[in-house]
């Protein structure tokens, strides 16, 4: 059958799919088979296939039931082939990241959905064949199933913790905007096995039916032949298998509920106002700290926003990104659902770095309209949603959000507020959008009050609330930013921090990030040859993925190809296209290798160079520790073992490092050694012992202001974890003293430390 001999409905469907697929392919990330293109195709092709098949088949009463099902399946397959062909043409235009993987993903999602849509069209044809408004009935019923599937996914998103969706027609939706690793999961294979059972079941039942002279359906010729019974029984069995796959979603991983996730995690604890669901492998002491962390953050976020959350809040804590992705859909991305008063985070050290941000979303939902209780009214405003959370719970960063915004202004890359508080928020990389939104909301709150922010979040107009146009607000915001005190290196680090393009602007983000993630796992599992191969595979797709370049070079340097690895690191350090952070990391990696091989002078000179050019407090402090330890062979060996990470070291190497560090600290009473011991004890949750060693360090002469700042910060965390008011008071006295190490330190770090101590003191009161 040629194209022109097909029915008008089928020709029209092919033309529509061709035009839509062609247009979609010009969007970023949609040019070729892959997740985005498959999702778009899965949303548009199945209903078109169903409409075309139902109109075509219902107009012809001469076909057998099985032949009609076959026509429907063929119609869906044809449209899927058209969309895939267009995607392949776009892949030739823009280049392909993973052609075979993209084709497989398309086949399992939009391809299978299109075939199912065509089959649904055959079923619809039978339902609409004798209706007075046959064509209208065909269109309405054809749309009913795909739209119904979407409605089920939306209902699950609203009524359960999950953000992913498996659907008979569009296949799979990951849910998270900032998780780039999206691949063919076992759950999708199982789900599509259920789809295959559905198609087989309908085809078998159709094979056991016949069409009467009036065009209606009946069982086979005699109504009870063995062939008819076998077809109907086998077909019914296949449909039952399909239903079992759908109903057993929690077991196969295609959907979850709050109850099934709670059972999978296994642990639940209640605080004053927080309920925490956690992996039952977590020790009881850490569980108590999780509950306190949630209660404290909830209280302080309410105070900052001037609002009270009605009822209780539930925090789901997942063991790692893999478990979180499997159970609720977001891997690396923390999520909040304000309408459910729930937050979902990965396990992290106390105080959790992201918990306050997510709880702020929930608290803000108390003054936002339903049904989602998010900022912007009926049309959610992502800039406002995230800006309020960032302003309420700022990061522990070198600069404040406002200072970072000022650095962007100085560089000429600061986006306009009106663009950030719209869908333009999603067009930029996440750090830039979040930072600018948080800085602007903080400014509005300081100038006009939190009541204005709450009303704006609830759907009010910021222009009406402030009496200023967006243009005037932008001018006032810029004028305020120019009054801020700025460290000299802020602009160079802002350029590096905000230079990474958004996921929409990167080349092959899904494939590259997935391959790099696999390489990291192989490195951690000491499978170094495979790790090197995978880093190389990622770089073959994106030669400017600086993380992959750095990791490959460092792994080579620490292995049998040391000379090649050092040369590649030197190349990164000298490449002006590389972000400043990766150039610095490359210099430090080379210097670490020098220190480990007793080339002390070369290492120290490189460390001092990086310290003089970096704004990163953690990097500079770590390099200061290495410089201080370099002069003495004993301390140098301890610091090399502790801070120069060697992926090839034995798995139990940490025990030897801990022993030598303890001996160094006890034997010398060196404040540097005492600080390092206290810091590492805190990282392992031994708060009481860590506090004792940190107090000894603080009572001595800590050699640099950066190390002293981190000692104070860590001591404050210990005091909060131990519910120790005297410890908090001690840290506050040192913080406010005339010779405080924070006197000329980073404003962002001081702001975070003050907020942490205020939070803990608030709980004491």
Neighbouring CB atoms inside 10 A of 68's CB total 28
Alpha-carbon distance of 20 to 18, in angstroms, equals: 6
Calculate mean pLDDT across residues 453-473: 96
**523 has a pLDDT exceeding 50:** yes
Cβ atoms of residues 336 and 356 within 8 Å: no
* Alpha helix segments (H runs only) across 249-283: 249-252, 258-265
Tokens of 562: 């040391």
Q: How far apart are CA 255 and CA 599, in angstroms?
A: 56
Query: Residue range 542-553: average pLDDT?
Result: 92
Element (H, E) at 266: strand 266-270
- At 625-641, the pLDDT tens digits run 999 999 888 888 888 88
Please tell me the distance from the alpha carbon of residue 685 to that of residue 682, in angstroms, as a whole number: 5
How is residue 124 written in tokens?
A: 């619809």
For the segment 302-341, what is each residue's pLDDT rounded down to a tens digit? 999 999 999 999 999 999 988 999 999 888 889 999 999 9
**Residues facing 270 on adjacent strands:** 275
In the predicted structure, residue 350 carries a pLDDT above the cut 90: yes
Q: What is the mean pLDDT of residues 592-612?
A: 94
Whether the CB-CB separation of 389 and 297 falls below 8 Å is answered with no
Question: What's the pLDDT tens digit per position in 638-696?
Answer: 888 888 866 666 656 667 777 888 888 888 889 999 999 999 999 999 999 999 999 99
The predicted pLDDT at position 704 comes to: 95
Mean pLDDT, rounded, for 65-84: 95
CB 166 within 8 A of CB 188: yes
State the Cα angle at 435 between 433 and 439, rounded to 5°: 120
N-to-C CA span, the chain: 82
- Report the run of H or E that residue 313 belongs to, with start and end: strand 313-318
Q: How far is CA 730 from the centre of its chain?
A: 38
The answer to whether 161 touches 316, Cβ cutoff 8 Å, is yes
Mean pLDDT value across residues 515-525: 90
Q: State residue 212's pLDDT score.
A: 78
Q: How far apart are CA 297 and CA 279, in angstroms?
A: 21
Query: Which residue has better confidence, 214 or 328?
Result: 328
For a pLDDT cut of 70, what percent of the chain falls above it?
A: 95
CB 30 within 8 A of CB 97: no
Quote the pLDDT of residue 764. Answer: 54
Predicted TM-score (pTM) of this structure: 0.91
Mean pLDDT of 26-38: 87
CA distance 165 to 171: 8
Strand partners, 693: none
Full DSSP string of 394-412: --S-SS-HHHHHHHHHHHT
Distance (Å) of CA 416 to CA 153, 389, 405, 424? 35, 19, 11, 10
Quick one: what percent of the chain has pLDDT higher than 90?
Answer: 69
pLDDT category at 184 given cuts 50, 70, 90 is: low
Is 391 within 8 Å of 442 (Cβ atoms)? yes
Angle at alpha carbon of residue 163, lines to 161 and 165, rounded to 5° = 120
The helix or strand, by DSSP H or E, that contains position 167, with its residue range, turns out to be strand 165-167
Question: 20, 7, 102: which is closest to 58 by C-alpha?
Answer: 7
């Amino acid at each position: 059958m040629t194209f022109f001999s097909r029915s008008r409905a089928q020709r029209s469907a092919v033309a529509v799919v061709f035009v839509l697929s062609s247009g979609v392919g010009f969007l970023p990330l949609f040019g070729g088979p892959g997740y985005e293109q498959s999702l778009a195709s899965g949303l548009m092709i199945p209903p078109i296939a169903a409409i075309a098949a139902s109109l075509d088949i219902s107009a012809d009463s001469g076909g057998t039931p099985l032949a009609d099902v076959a026509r429907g399946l063929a119609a869906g397959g044809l449209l899927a082939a058209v969309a895939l062909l267009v995607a392949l043409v776009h892949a030739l235009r823009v280049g392909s990241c993973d052609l075979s993987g993209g084709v497989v993903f398309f086949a399992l999602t939009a391809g299978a959905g299109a075939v199912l849509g065509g089959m649904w069209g055959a079923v619809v044809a039978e339902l609409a064949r004798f209706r007075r408004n046959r064509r209208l009935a065909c269109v309405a019923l054809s749309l009913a199933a795909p739209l119904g599937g979407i409605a089920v996914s939306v209902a699950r998103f609203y009524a359960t913790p999950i953000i992913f969706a498996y659907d008979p027609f569009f296949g799979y939706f990951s849910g998270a905007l900032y998780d780039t690793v999206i691949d063919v999961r076992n759950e999708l294979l199982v789900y599509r096995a259920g789809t295959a059972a559905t198609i087989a079941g309908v085809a078998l039942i159709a094979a056991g039916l016949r069409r009467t002279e009036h065009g209606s359906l009946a069982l086979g010729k005699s109504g009870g032949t063995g062939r008819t019974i076998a077809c109907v029984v086998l077909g019914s069995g296949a449909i039952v298998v399909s239903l079992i796959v759908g109903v057993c979603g929690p077991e196969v991983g295609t959907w979850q509920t709050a109850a099934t996730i709670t059972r999978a995690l296994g642990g639940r604890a209640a605080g004053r106002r927080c309920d925490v669901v956690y992996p039952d492998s977590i020790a009881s002491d850490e569980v108590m700290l999780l509950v306190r962390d949630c209660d404290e953050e909830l209280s302080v976020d309410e105070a900052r926003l001037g609002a009270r959350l009605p009822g209780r809040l539930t925090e789901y804590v997942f063991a790692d990104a893999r478990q979180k992705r499997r159970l609720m859909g977001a891997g690396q991305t923390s999520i909040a659902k304000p309408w459910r008063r729930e937050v979902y985070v990965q396990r992290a050290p106390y105080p959790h770095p992201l918990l306050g941000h997510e709880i702020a979303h929930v608290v803000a939902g108390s003054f936002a309209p339903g049904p989602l209780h998010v900022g912007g009214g009926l049309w959610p405003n992502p800039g406002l949603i995230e800006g309020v959370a960032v302003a309420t719970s700022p990061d522990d960063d070198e600069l404040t959000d406002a200072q970072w915004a000022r650095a962007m202004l100085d560089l000429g890359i600061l986006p306009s507020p009106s663009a950030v508080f719209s869908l333009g928020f999603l067009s930029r990389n996440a750090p830039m959008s979040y930072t600018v939104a948080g800085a602007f909301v903080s400014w509005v709150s300081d100038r006009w009050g939190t009541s204005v922010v709450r009303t704006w979040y609830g759907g009010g107009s910021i222009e009406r609330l402030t009496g200023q146009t967006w243009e005037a607000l932008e001018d006032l915001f810029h004028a305020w930013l120019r009054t801020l005190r700025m460290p000299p290196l802020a602009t160079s680090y802002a350029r590096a921090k905000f230079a990474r393009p958004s996921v929409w602007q990167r080349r092959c983000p899904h494939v590259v990030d997935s391959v790099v993630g696999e390489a990291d796992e192989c490195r951690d599992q000491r499978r170094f040859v495979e790790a090197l191969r995978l880093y190389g595979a990622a770089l073959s797709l994106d030669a400017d993925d600086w993380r992959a370049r750095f990791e490959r070079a460092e792994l080579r340097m620490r292995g049998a190809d040391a000379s090649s690895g050092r040369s590649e690191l030197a190349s990164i350090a000298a490449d002006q296209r590389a972000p400043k952070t990766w150039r610095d990391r490359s210099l430090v990696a080379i210097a670490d290798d020098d220190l480990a091989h007793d080339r002390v002078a070369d290492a120290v000179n490189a460390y001092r160079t990086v310290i003089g050019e970096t704004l990163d407090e953690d990097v500079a402090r770590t390099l200061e520790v290495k410089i201080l330890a370099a002069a003495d062979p004993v301390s140098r060996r301890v610091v090399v073992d502790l801070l120069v990470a060697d992926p090839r070291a034995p798995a139990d190497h940490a025990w030897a490092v801990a022993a030598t560090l303890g001996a160094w600290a006890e034997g010398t009473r060196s404040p540097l050694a005492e600080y390092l011991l206290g810091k590492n004890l805190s990282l392992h949750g031994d708060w009481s012992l860590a506090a004792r060693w940190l107090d000894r360090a603080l009572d001595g002469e800590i050699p640099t202001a950066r190390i002293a700042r981190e000692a104070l910060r860590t001591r404050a965390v210990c005091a909060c974890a131990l519910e120790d008011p005297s410890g908090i008071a001690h840290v506050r006295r040192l913080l406010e003293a005339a010779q405080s190490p924070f006197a000329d330190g980073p404003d962002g770090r001081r702001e975070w430390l003050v907020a942490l101590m205020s939070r803990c003191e608030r709980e004491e009161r």
